[in-house]
Amino acid sequence: MNDRGVTVLLGFILLMMISITFLSVVQTYYVPSILKDRELKHNDEILSSLIDLTSALTKERPNVIELNLGVEYPKYLFLMTPSTGSGSISAENFNISLEYNETYPEQRYNSTKFQTQRILVTLNYYVNPRTIFIYENTAIFKKPGNITVAEQSVFQRGRITLILINSSIGSLSANYPLDLAVVPVSYGGEVLAKNVTIEFESINPQYWKFLEKLGYNVTVDSRKVKIEAENVILSINYVYFTVGLGISTEQTQEIYESMSSNLKPSRIVKITYPQLNEINVT
């Protein structure tokens, strides 16, 4: 082998070594950074879908919301990136106890217990920690850290709108977009109530203490939350939703029509009362 051939071979080997080193650096530092950013973006997309769920739960018509559990990672030549990430959605039952004195349109005492659900969305990421969004009484919490990422809308100053959820989700894993069909079963009724007491167990019980700023009396004992109010407008919405692929609004309407006749969780009364908007929690 002559000197020129040796020089060309050494140059080729050196170029390969430089290329391999460069790709190793990119694979080690640059690719994880890209994957992390993509996962954070997906995190925001999931949160946005759950916030849309709150809006859908308060509407008087069926809605369909997309929830994309899959994370699409970018692909690069000569670099290794994961396949599509996956997540899961599940429903967890819990009870809400409600006690109050109705003052209008009737004078009577009411005490009942409802079963509702909190929704858990678990995201299995490659770079970022495993993330769980917890949808509870319209508040959204995020783990790890038990961070509040969206405020509740059930308790307002002078008004309580309980939203009871029933679903056929169970537990479902996917790496693709799912459709949440939100079906209102009963809604819109209001009564004037005093001495209202609501109790439930919470994933993040200390969060509910902030309601004291709105005039409520809040007691927290371990996971148990007790919320009391003197005078409020009280209403109860009952919502059913299911998960599937390609659910149309027409299909959602069919679900609504098949269920609305036999799923009534409570007496719903529509009233017109001139003083309703003037009442404050004391």
Phi/psi of residue 27, nearest 5 degrees: -65, -35
* Tokens representing residue 244 in the block: 């599937």
pLDDT of residue 181: 85
**pLDDT, tens digit, for every residue of 131-146?**
999 999 999 999 998 8
pLDDT in tens, 228-246: 999 999 998 888 888 877 6
Q: Which amino acid is at 248?
A: S
The answer for residues whose C-beta is within 8 angstroms of residue 36's C-beta and 6 or more apart is 127, 128
For range 165-173, the mean pLDDT: 85
Provide the pLDDT confidence category of residue 211 given band limits of 50, 70 and 90.
very high
Q: Are 100 and 234 in contact (CB under 8 A)?
A: yes
pLDDT at residue 84 in the model: 82
**Higher pLDDT, residue 47 or 190:** 47
Give the gyration radius of the chain's Cα atoms: 26
In degrees rounded to 5, what are phi and psi of residue 162? Answer: -70, 135
| CB 181 within 8 Å of CB 258 | no
The distance from CA 150 to its chain's CA centroid, rounded to whole angstroms, is 9
Hey, how many other C-beta atoms are within 10 angstroms of the C-beta on 204? 17
SS3 per residue for 48-96:
HHHHHHHHHHCCCCCEEEEEECCECCCCCCCCCCCCCEEEEEEEEEEEE
